[in-house]
Amino acid sequence: MPISGASASRALFKSAGCTPEIDVMPVLQRLSRDYHIPVLFLTFDTQTSDAGLDTRLEAFYDMIAMRKVRS
């Protein structure tokens, strides 16, 4: 899958705490910076609210939609 273009984006879902997924975060941050790809990092724990997740997902979707319109 190509990682460039107006529709390119990535999301990382991980649980809170020390997990193997923490190692991939610097790699995704570098890809985001080098290829100008939006990346959303979502961390879940027992205190995570549905409303907070909905807001972050909606904002990420809006950002991707705006990038698509601009290109």
Measured between alpha carbons, how far apart are the two ends of the chain, in Å?
Answer: 20
Average pLDDT over residues 20-42: 83
1 or 28, higher pLDDT: 28
Reported as a pLDDT band with limits 50, 70 and 90, residue 58 is: very high
- CA angle (19 as vertex; 12, 62 as ends), nearest 5: 15
Q: Which residues pair with 10 in a beta bridge?
A: 39
Indicate yes or no: pTM above 0.75: no
pLDDT for residue 34: 92
Taking the C-alpha atoms of residue 26 and residue 22, their distance in angstroms, rounded to an integer, is 8
Average pLDDT over residues 32-39: 87
22 or 68, higher pLDDT: 68
Pick from 30, 13, 32, 31: nearest CA to 22: 13
